[in-house]
Amino acid sequence: MAKQSKSKKDRKTSAWFQRHANDPHVKQAQREGKRSRAVFKLTEILDEHGLIIKKNSVVVDLGCAPGSWSEEVGQRLGPDGVVIGIDLLPLNPIEGVILIEGDFDSPEGQRALDEALNGRSIDLVISDMAPEMSGNKLVDQMRMIGLNEMTLHFAKAHLKPGGALLMKTFMGEGYDGFRRDLGSAFKSIKNIKPAASRKSSPEFFLLARDFKG
């Protein structure tokens, strides 16, 4: 029987698997028993940009599945520290981490976070959330900025004065206006493209520090 030629989608999928299998950060994550290679983006930002997590911090992790960021933060906290993570997807439990399965960008998700916070203010909000990619650059960009705006709104409502916000974003339509809004709420902002973030990915991170309150 004649061999069928692979569809464009199949070729893209097998290229992704090939790249994934050869990725040094994937291999390192497997060796070190991490839930995801994404952890190395966070550790670089924490360690090389001097974002210190105090032992008794309250940290909220938005878009936390499969859980490598929450796990890393949990390991840096003492017994009085708290990590609350939310994701659309279910996660395997992480010791010492309060996990919520839900949509951050929904009234139910916001309610669940409020309940988990139980009146506590937050020291650090971290967000690795990205929209599900549609393939349409403008649509994906606008969805990303929408998530960023919602994240900033949440941070402004819950952060302690002096607190910090780390979030993933994409450069493009809507970014400049969002960056200005962020600048009016925090004293310092840095754009970071960690080494573990693939060059081919449009993502980078905004580290906003010293919330004005």
Ligand X SMILES: C[S@@+](CC[C@H](N)C(=O)[O-])C[C@H]1O[C@@H](n2cnc3c(N)ncnc32)[C@H](O)[C@@H]1O
Query: Among residues 12, 168, 190, 212, which one is catalytic?
Result: 168
Angstrom distance (rounded) from CA 127 to CA 141: 16
Which of 52/89 has CB closer to ligand X? Answer: 89
Active-site residue, 190 included: no
Binding to ligand X in span 84-113, by CB under 6 A: 86-89, 103-105
- 146 makes contact with ligand X (CB under 6 A): no
Binding mask 125-144 toward ligand X (x if CB under 6 A, else -) reads ---xxx--------------
Binding mask 68-87 toward ligand X (x if CB under 6 A, else -) reads xx----------------xx
Instruction: Out of 57, 63, 81, 186, point to the residue binding ligand X (CB under 6 A).
Output: 63
- 192 makes contact with ligand X (CB under 6 A): no
Residue positions annotated with a catalytic role: 168
By the criterion CB under 6 A, which residues form the site for ligand X? 35-36, 38-39, 63-69, 86-89, 103-105, 128-130
